[in-house]
A = this chain, B = another copy of it.
Amino acid sequence: MSIIVQKYGGTSIGTIEKISSVAEKIIKEKNNGNKVVVVVSAMSGETNKLLDLAKSIDPDVSGRELDVLVSTGEQVTISLLALTLNNKGHKAISLTGSQAGITTDSAFNKARIESIDNTSIKKYLEEGNVVIVAGFQGVTNSGDITTLGRGGSDTSAVAISVALDAKECQIFTDVDGVYTTDPRISDGAKKIDDITTEEMLELSSQGSKVLQPRAVEFAGKYDVGIRVLSSFKDGSGTLIKKENDDKMEKAIISGIAFNKDEAQLTIRGVPDQPGIASLILGPIADHNIDVDMIVQNVGEDGLANFTFTVPRNDYKVAFQSLEKSSKKLNANKVTGNNKIVKISMVGVGMRTHAGIASKMFSVLAENKINISMISTSEIKISVVTDEENLKTAVNVLHKAFNLDQPH
């Protein structure tokens, strides 16, 4: 008898009716002869409602008490799902993060799972229960309630799968799998049947919002298979697994992701000197603004141009901060663009196939798409271009790399 872990997000369990159809999916899996552990998020909208309450007390709310508050969202859904299964004649028991033995560090609001004591879950499974665990939450060694931060339910599900040595961790969501690119942008987008955790990691960090990067990372580390499935229709979804040698013949490029949530800033004509990067980025970090891509080059005049991207929401603050730095550093000029998109091609095949980058650039050039930044990793190439180029760029790349062909 295998253990299957299923995770349902907020939109999958947003109403009593939806909870009922989730229960049917669980019963089906149980009738297949499996032991089922279910991890759930809060009903859609609930977490935000609780956050709004807290923010009406303190706009900058954070810390221990916030986790006591928002963790109630999942506690509501675990009990409603257990009641629904009970009412359909199936044994089910709900467990909070604490009751499920999920111990985290004490970084409230963004805690990390340290260990899972699987005793309770195993006992209830042995007794024939569907075990329903509150995602997104845990407890510290001293008994304080913690939450894992946004999207933490995926991580809970993967961690529980590891702790139970589950056969598979099924993540139910509102899409039926991972696609070669966003189907809203490219008609040719194809569902991917399987993909490595590394590729998925690059795809999810780069803006494919199907799975939380932390969950994928965790699954890769402990070699658990994740299957992304639709809550609303049947299908085999996408299986995300650690890379196996016998799969090296697969497609060079797995998918194309993009991110429209960034903005680009450039400081021009900075006297090149040691430590210049930290003098520019230090004040940005002081504003708690995350920097993503960074490019620096030095012209013939010995003056450097320094370009980086920040979350689009932080564009204004970052721009003002950079103008201040500009005076101190005797730079020529600060420019920016908050209508950019970062487009990333991801694939483990890149490692063994040269020329992917040059092909990418030439395809874009042929289509008159100008690139302002480039960044690469072992299995990814990202470029920044004007947002208006998004659709054309994704489509020409998708076609040029045969992602619209069966593979």
Residues of A within 8 A of B (CB): 16, 19-20, 50, 53-54, 56-58, 61, 63-66, 68-69, 71-72, 75-76, 78-80, 82-84, 86-87, 92-94, 96, 98-99, 120, 143-145
List of B residues within 8 angstroms of A98 by Cβ: 98
Cβ-defined partner of A57 (8 Å) among B69, B78, B83, B145: B83
9 A-B pairs with the lowest CB-CB distances in the bound complex, closest first: A69-B79, A68-B79, A72-B72, A65-B82, A58-B87, A65-B79, A65-B83, A57-B83, A72-B75
List of B residues within 8 angstroms of A145 by Cβ: 96
Cβ-defined partner of A16 (8 Å) among B56, B68, B78, B92: B56
Q: How far is the CA of A76 from the CA of B83 in the complex (A)?
A: 21
Cβ-defined partner of A94 (8 Å) among B20, B65, B76: B65
List of B residues within 8 angstroms of A56 by Cβ: 16
List of B residues within 8 angstroms of A82 by Cβ: 65, 68
Contact B76 A57 (CB under 8 A): no
- Main SS of the interface on chain A? helix
Q: How far is the CA of A90 from the CA of B76 in the complex (A)?
A: 30
Q: How far is the CA of A84 from the CA of B57 in the complex (A)?
A: 6
Q: How far is the CA of A143 from the CA of B96 in the complex (A)?
A: 10
User: Contacts A65-B93, A68-B75, A98-B98 given; 20 further ones with Cβ under 8 A?
Assistant: A16-B56, A20-B57, A54-B79, A57-B80, A57-B83, A57-B84, A58-B86, A58-B87, A64-B93, A65-B79, A65-B83, A65-B86, A65-B92, A65-B94, A66-B79, A68-B79, A68-B94, A69-B80, A69-B83, A120-B143
List of B residues within 8 angstroms of A83 by Cβ: 54, 57-58, 61, 65-66, 69
List of B residues within 8 angstroms of A50 by Cβ: 76
List of B residues within 8 angstroms of A94 by Cβ: 65, 68
List of B residues within 8 angstroms of A87 by Cβ: 57-58
Q: How far is the CA of A68 from the CA of B79 in the complex (A)?
A: 6
Q: How far is the CA of A61 from the CA of B99 in the complex (A)?
A: 22
List of B residues within 8 angstroms of A54 by Cβ: 79-80, 83
List of B residues within 8 angstroms of A99 by Cβ: 143-144
19 pairs, A vs B, C-beta closer than 8 Å: A16-B57, A54-B83, A57-B80, A58-B83, A58-B87, A61-B83, A63-B86, A64-B93, A65-B79, A65-B93, A65-B94, A68-B75, A68-B78, A68-B82, A68-B94, A68-B96, A69-B76, A72-B72, A96-B145
List of B residues within 8 angstroms of A65 by Cβ: 79, 82-83, 86, 92-94
Across the interface, name the chain B residue whose C-beta is closest to A74.
Answer: B72
Contact B80 A53 (CB under 8 A): yes
Nearest chain B CB to A122 CB, angstrom units? 15
Nearest chain B CB to A133 CB, angstrom units? 12
Nearest chain B CB to A127 CB, angstrom units? 13
Which among A53, A57, A82 has the highest number of chain B CB atoms within 10 Å? A57
Nearest chain B CB to A209 CB, angstrom units? 28
Across the interface, name the chain B residue whose C-beta is closest to A85.
Answer: B65
Q: How far is the CA of A71 from the CA of B75 in the complex (A)?
A: 9
Nearest chain B CB to A173 CB, angstrom units? 24
Nearest chain B CB to A199 CB, angstrom units? 39
Across the interface, name the chain B residue whose C-beta is closest to A56.
Answer: B16
Across the interface, name the chain B residue whose C-beta is closest to A43.
Answer: B53
Q: How far is the CA of A58 from the CA of B92 in the complex (A)?
A: 15
Nearest chain B CB to A132 CB, angstrom units? 9
Nearest chain B CB to A20 CB, angstrom units? 8
Contact B53 A16 (CB under 8 A): yes
List of B residues within 8 angstroms of A61 by Cβ: 83
Q: How far is the CA of A53 from the CA of B94 in the complex (A)?
A: 16
Q: How far is the CA of A98 from the CA of B96 in the complex (A)?
A: 12
Q: How far is the CA of A143 from the CA of B50 in the complex (A)?
A: 26
List of B residues within 8 angstroms of A84 by Cβ: 57
List of B residues within 8 angstroms of A57 by Cβ: 16, 19-20, 80, 83-84, 87
